Amino acid sequence: MTAEASARQRCLAQMIEHLGPTRIGRELGLSRLRSLDDLRASLPIMDRERHEWDVEQHLGFGLVDPGDAPARALSGGGLERDAVLEVWRAFLGRGAVLRRVALLRGHSVDPIVDRLARDDVRALEAEVLAIDHVEDPAAVVERLVEFDPELMLVPSVLTLRWLESVHRGGLERWLRSLRLVLAEHDLRQEVRTRVRVATSGWIHRSGRLGLPTVRPPDHALTLAVGSQIIELLPYGNPEEDARRVYAEETVLPEHAVLGQRYELVVSSPLG
């Protein structure tokens, strides 16, 4: 059994154990599932609206208590954390000593997102300046200058542009030790800084969804197939179809075709 297949089977077992006894789990027949093929053949694919209506309003979604260790384990966040940190360190360069990390991240409506992001940063074993509330960008810049981080993590490159607006220049002009900025979203946006800006990965409320990679470009991701069950649903060319036309069946990521358009289909033990 491949590592991907083993991870999917583990995630399926967690889904059955955690969600099978619920009313929704019984209605969907989760306890009868024995393999990924069973799941793909019997469970319907839901868009966000249908999932919210049919599942989330009855079951909830994500971690109710992010401090509960067994519940955190269901997110699979720790399973691929080492892979994430390895790429971050590769971005910094061989032999780099990381002493100070700045984390600019407000509180998400989904506790799992906050928990995974903060646990990733703590695993770097460096001093962390965590800023979760911002009213005055100049005050934030002042705190960053005093802390002088080598690494800074932001939710979006737009956050970086907002900070640059304070002094109308690149970050390296006032953060002398800064060597790398990691962002989750909007990596294609232009910034003034000459410091390397790369992806931190992708955390979704279902768990870890995307891993950074050392392969170019710096905004590239690989799917976190070791953290939750991820399938791909092909759809047609929007220039040829008036409406988006989806295929009848999903394919696994390892069977994806270069150039084909896909939607992600995620099955998570969290809901």
Q: What is the pTM of this model?
A: 0.87
CB atoms near residue 50 (< 10 Å): 12
How confident is the model at residue 79, as a pLDDT? 81
In order of their start, the domains of the chain are 3-76+228-267 (no CATH), 81-221 (3.40.50)
How confident is the model at residue 51, as a pLDDT? 84
Residue 65, pLDDT above cutoff 60: no
How confident is the model at residue 221, as a pLDDT? 94
Residue 89, pLDDT above cutoff 70: yes
pLDDT digits (tens, 9 = 90+) for 106-123: 887 677 788 889 999 999
Residue 60, pLDDT above cutoff 70: no
> In angstroms, how far is CA 128 from the centroid of its own chain?
20
How confident is the model at residue 82, as a pLDDT? 94
Question: Higher pLDDT residue, 48 or 220?
Answer: 220
Pairing state between β 261-267 and 202-204: unpaired
CB atoms near residue 212 (< 10 Å): 25
Identity of the residue numbered 216: P
How confident is the model at residue 73, as a pLDDT? 64
Identity of the residue numbered 147: F
Residue 62, pLDDT above cutoff 60: no
How confident is the model at residue 97, as a pLDDT? 85
List phi, psi (to 5°) of 233.
-110, 110
Residue 25, pLDDT above cutoff 70: yes
Q: How far apart are CA 158 and CA 21, in angstroms?
A: 43
pLDDT digits (tens, 9 = 90+) for 189-241: 988 999 999 999 999 888 899 999 999 999 999 999 988 899 999 998 777 76
How confident is the model at residue 53, as a pLDDT? 82
How confident is the model at residue 95, as a pLDDT? 79
Residue 130, pLDDT above cutoff 90: yes
